[in-house]
Amino acid sequence: MAMTKTSTSGIEVRPLSGSIGAAVTGVTLAELDDDQFSVLRDAFLENCMLVFPRQDLSAGALEAFSKWWGEPVTTFFLEYLEGHHGVSQLFNRGKANSVTENWHSDTPFLAEPPSINFLSARDVPIGGDTMWCNQYLAYETLSSGMQDLLAGLKIEFNGDSLAGLSGAPEKLRTAHPVVRTHPETGRKSLFIGSPTITARRFETMTEAESFPLIQWLYQHSSQPHRVYRHHWSNGDVVMWDNRCTLHYAVHDHGDDVRRELYRITTRAEAPV
């Protein structure tokens, strides 16, 4: 992981861990220009996720910032703010109703899972941290024998539980490669999920046959030395690459405290 870098435009990129994440200062996201975006893009592709402290982006400003990176995408199981395409509000729905308190990428069961996720913290309590892990390193640290075994395998990602919560009648199941290649960096990463929630079986195997290997890969992916844990503050904007990371939303702040963030994601191609 590179050391702190300061660009000619005054943007400072400071690594947040030895494996993933960087904090970016010296830029106002609501006033971004082409040269600054070029610096941010390079930092993003290198670090997989970026933290921008004290930006205080409104829903409109977050939408505008996301469009530098791609087209905002919507799904049928979320509600969106009127007048702001793709922007949803996240609230504290209580621990029992939390569906993100596990290592996951967002909506891997769609044919084209989103490429980049953005969160803007509006009103956050102490606690409620989010963790990210680097899936490039998860793949690259596998033995050559395991890499050969996984080549060509696909996982059937399963979104039935989320579809049920949102009242959708159809099943959400799509097979994607266990090892995917990033369309911009060309690096390979491990594309995995929970063996009891979204990644229950390999495409040509039963759940019973698939579970031991998927469980091992899942645990391998989130080893502590590949993880960054973010302590939220009001005004923080965080973006991460859904194609080469997993994330985990910790619900330790109680069911009765207020927690509000804006969220938006951008469209991507099918994993290959």
User: Tens of pLDDT along 119-138?
Assistant: 999 999 999 999 999 999 99
Band (pLDDT 50/70/90 cuts) for residue 182 is very high
Q: Which two tokens stand for residue 140?
A: 């690259």
pLDDT score recorded for residue 168: 62
Give yes or no for residue 239 having a pLDDT over 80: yes
Beta carbons of 49 and 21 less than 8 angstroms apart? yes
200: which strand partners? none
Rounded mean pLDDT of the chain? 94
- State the average pLDDT over residues 20-25: 98
Whether 15 and 22 have beta carbons less than 8 Å apart is answered as: yes
Q: Which of 42, 74, 84, 221 has its CA nearest to residue 146?
A: 221
Which pair of tokens denotes residue 171? 């099943």
User: Given a cut of 80, is residue 203 above it in pLDDT?
Assistant: yes
Nearest to 178, CA basis, from 229, 139, 216: 139
The closest alpha carbon to 193, from 240, 248, 144, 152, belongs to 248
Options 3.50.50.60, 3.90.1150.10, 3.60.130.10, 3.40.710.10; CATH of 1-272? 3.60.130.10
Which pLDDT score, from 0 to 100, does residue 1 have?
Answer: 45
Per-residue pLDDT at 170: 63
Instruction: State pLDDT tens for residues 134-157.
Output: 999 999 999 999 999 999 999 999
Note the Cα 204 to chain centre separation in Å.
Answer: 27
Q: Looking at residues 104-123, what average pLDDT do you find? A: 96
Structure confidence at residue 98 as a pLDDT band (50, 70, 90): confident
Which of 14, 4, 68 shows the shortest CA–CA distance to 36?
68
Query: Residues 178, 154: contact at Cβ < 8 Å?
Result: yes
pLDDT band (50, 70, 90) for residue 6:
confident
What is the structure's pLDDT at 169? 55
CB 98 within 8 A of CB 109: no
What is the distance between the alpha carbons of residues 189 and 244, in angstroms, rounded to a whole number? 6
Confidence category of residue 2, pLDDT binned at 50, 70, 90: low
